[in-house]
Amino acid sequence: MVFPQVKDDIKDRCDIYEVINSYVPLKRAGANYRALCPFHNEKTPSFMVNPTRQSYYCFGCQRGGDVISFVMEHEGVDFMGALGLLAQRVGVQIPEYEPASRHDAGSNAENTTRATERKDRLYELHDKIAVWYQKNLRSEAGKDTLEYVRDRGLNDDALVTFGLGYALKGWDNAVQWGRQHGFSRQEMMSGGLLTVKNEDDPASQAYDRFRDRLMFPVWNEQGRIVAFSGRVLTSDSPGGKYVNSPETPIFKKGRILYGLHLARQGIKAAGHAVLCEGQMDVIACHRADVTNAVAPQGTAFTEQQAFLIKRYTENVVLAFDADTAGVNAALKSLDSLAPANLNARVVLMGEGEDPDSLMRASGAESLRQKMADSEEYFRFLLDAEIRRHDTSDAAGKTAVADTFLEAVSKMKSRVVRAEYCQLLASRLQIPEGFVFQQLEAVTNRRRRSAAYRSEAKGAAGILQAALNDSDAVRKSERALLELALHHKSFAVRMVTDLPADYIDDTGYGPVLNEILAHTEQGDWAESEEIVREQIYRSGEHSFGRILEAPEFGSDVDPDKLEKAYIDSVAKIKSMRADAKLRELTQALKSTADHETKRALRQQIQELKRSRPATWTTIR
C-alpha cells in the first residue's frame, strides 16, 4: 500500500505528455496530442492525449485513463509497479507500509472505498455551503460586505466567476446550517468549517471557523471546491487578515494554486504563468484579461506548486510587492522553481502597490502593461543585492557574489550558470575566472550538504537501495572517516577522489561529507572541532572509538594508511559502478523507446569499459 499523498505527489510531478511521449511519439493536434495507439494495431492515429486533463483516450479500442493507468497497461505491471516506475522517473521515494495484521490487509479495499466516500461527502459539503455563503452576500446581513466588494471594483461577473460569499456574524450559523442540511458535526469538523474551543478536548463545544468575513472558495486543479479563505473587512476586526481552511482529506495547501482551474488555458495561450501573492491580486489580473494568474494558498510557494505549473508551461512571472517582504518572497521562490526547471521573470509593483490596487487606481491597461514589463530573474536578483550592499569595497562585492552565486548554483544548465557568472563579473568589475572559481566552490559545498545529496539520490532510488545496508561500504566509509579526521592530506585527496554523491547519507557518510565540505573551503582544522562536537552529541559509541581509539590514527605506519585509503575508495567506487550498472540494465528493460535503448546501451558499455580503472586507479 502507498500513502495517498505520495501517489498524488508522483502524479503532480509527472506530465502525461512527457511520459507517454517517451513511449510513443506524439504529434500536436490542436490543444491535444495524437499518436498511433500503443495498445492495438491501427493505421490512422486515434490515440489522444489531453495535457490539460492529464488523461489519454483511444477512440479505436476505448482504452483511457491517467498517467498511472497508461504505465500499468503499457508495462504490464500492477498499480504499485507503475507507481514505482514513475517514482524513479521523478525522484520520489515510496515509503513502505505494512498492515498490522492479515485482517487489516484484507480490509484495504473496504477502507479505500470508505475513504473515497468520505471525500465525496466533503466535496458535496463544500459545494453546498459555498452556495449558502453566496446567498448570504446578497442578503440584508451581507449588504455591507457586498458594498465593500463593489467599492473594490468587483462586478457581478467577477462575483459569480470567483464564487465570493459572506460568512455571517455569530458563533453557530454554520453549525445550524450543517444540521439543517444533514451534515454531521464530525463532517463539518473534518471539512475545517468548524473548530472547537479546547483543541485538547475534541469533544468540546464546536463553533464556526469563519465569522463575519468575505469568503473566497478555493478550487483544486479539477475545479472542485476544497477549502475557503475568509478575509476581514476592517483593520480593527479580531483575528488575522485572512483565516484559511486547515488541511483536510481533500485540501493540502502546498498542492493548491488559487485560480489554476480558471488559468490553465490562459497559461498555455500566454506561454507563461503569473504568480501573485493573494486572491484579490489573481481576481484583479483576470478582470484585466491577464487570465494566466494564480497564487499560492495559505503558504509560501512550494515545489509541488511549481510542478503543477510545469504541466502547462516552463515559464513563470513572479508578481510581488516592491517592499522587503515581496523581494524576499521572490528570492525564496527559486528553491521551488529550480527543481521543476522553470524559467522565471519578476515584476515588482510600486511601493505599497499590488495588482489589485494598480487595477483600481489606473485600470486594466496599466496592469497589463506592468505584467508585460517583467525582468529576468537573475538580473533582478543581482540588482536587488547591489542595492542592499555597498559594492565600492571588497566586503560588499563578496556579500553580493555569495548570495548571487548561491542562487545560480541551483540551476541545472551549465550555459545558464556561465551566462550569469559573466554578468556578475561585469557588474562588479571582477575577473571572470575568480567568479567561476567561486561558483565551483559554492556548487561543491551544496553537493556536500545532506539536503542536496538527499535530493540527488531520490532520483536514483535503485542505486541508493543497492548501497544502503552494505557492510563493505560502511566499513570503507568508517576507514575514510578516520583518515579524513586524523590526516588532513587524506581529506584533501578525498575531495577530488570521492564525489559527494558516492558517499551514503546514512551511518558515517554525513559526518565524512561534512569534513570534506570544510576541507574544500580550507577549514579542515575547524571542521574537526565541529565534527567532534556532533559526534559526542550523537552518543554513538562507534564514533567515540573513531575519535579516541582509531584504527588509522596518526601513529600508524604510512604504508598501512595508504593501503587503507586505496582499498576503501576503490571498494566504494566499485560498489557504485555495480549499482549503476544494475540501474541502467533495469532502465533498459523498462523502456520501449529505441533512442532511449541505444543511449542506455552506450552508457552500459562505457561503464563496463571504465570499471577496471575505476576499481584500481586511485592516485
In the chain (619 residues long), the average pLDDT of successive 10-residue segments reads: 68 88 87 89 89 86 87 77 80 55 44 72 94 96 94 90 94 95 94 84 82 94 88 74 90 90 87 91 92 88 86 87 68 82 85 82 87 88 88 90 88 84 93 87 67 40 39 81 87 82 71 78 66 52 65 84 90 80 79 71 72 42
Pairwise CA distance, residues 366 & 543, whole Å: 64
Contact 53, 312 (CB under 8 A): no
- Residue 134, CA distances (Å) to 139, 141, 142, 144, 168 in order: 9, 12, 9, 14, 11
- Cα–Cα separations (whole angstroms), residue 368 to 78, 421, 539, 555: 49, 32, 60, 73
Q: What's the pLDDT score for residue 361?
A: 84
In angstroms, what CA-CA distances link 23 with 10, 71, 74, 592? Answer: 18, 10, 9, 6
Distance of alpha carbon 544 from alpha carbon 478, whole angstroms: 12
User: DSSP letter at 349?
Assistant: P
Nearest 5°: phi and psi at 506?
Answer: -130, 170
Q: Using CA atoms, how far apart are residues 546 and 530, in angstroms rounded to an integer?
A: 15
**pLDDT computed for residue 110 by the predictor:** 58
Write out the three cell numbers for 533: 562536537
Q: Is 207 helix (H, G, I), strand (E, B) or coil?
A: strand
- CB count within 10 Å of CB 419 equals 14
Burial classification of residue 151, based on how many CB atoms lie within 10 Å of its CB (0-12 exposed, 13-18 middle, 19 or more buried): exposed
Residue 295 is predicted with a pLDDT of 93
For residue 336, the one-letter residue type is S
**pTM of the predicted model as reported, rounded to 2 decimal places:** 0.61
Q: What per-residue confidence (pLDDT) applies to 616?
A: 39
Phi, psi of 320 (to 5 degrees): -125, 160
| Predicted local distance difference test score (pLDDT) of residue 150 | 92
Query: Cα dist. 271→27, 30, 33, 232 in Å?
Result: 19, 15, 17, 35
Q: Are 257 and 305 in contact (CB under 8 A)?
A: yes
Quick check: 207 and 197 in contact, CB under 8 A? Answer: yes
Dihedral over alpha carbons 74, 77, 83, 89 (to 10 degrees): -50
Q: How far is CA 146 from the centre of its chain?
A: 38
Q: Report how far residue 299's alpha carbon sits from residue 257's, in angstroms, rounded to the nearest whole number.
A: 10
Phi, psi of 239 (to 5 degrees): 85, 180
- Asked whether the beta carbons of 64 and 53 are under 8 A apart, the reply is no
Whether the Cβ atoms of residue 175 and residue 208 lie closer than 8 Å to each other: yes
Grid cell digits, residue 418: 556561465
**Greatest Cα-to-Cα distance within the chain, rounded to the nearest angstrom:** 91
Give SS3 for 173. helix
The pLDDT, as a whole number, for residue 497 is 82
CB-CB contact of 463 with 544 (8 Å):
no
N-to-C CA span, the chain = 48
Contact status, residue 457 vs residue 501, Cβ threshold 8 Å: yes
For 610, the 3-state DSSP assignment is helix
Helix (H, G, I), strand (E, B) or coil at 241: coil
The pLDDT of residue 501: 67
597 CB neighbour count, 10 Å cutoff = 14
H-helix segments, 37-107: 67-75, 79-90, 102-106
pLDDT for res 105: 39
What's the rounded Cα separation, in Å, for the pair 291 and 260? 10
How is residue 451 written as a grid cell? 539536503
C-alpha cell at 251: 485540501
How much is the pLDDT for 74? 81
| C-alpha torsion sign, points 82, 84, 87, 91 | negative
- Cα separation, 216 vs 91, in Å, equals 35
In this prediction, residue 278 carries a pLDDT of 87
The pLDDT assigned to 505 comes to 62
Residue 219 — φ and ψ, nearest 5°? -100, 150
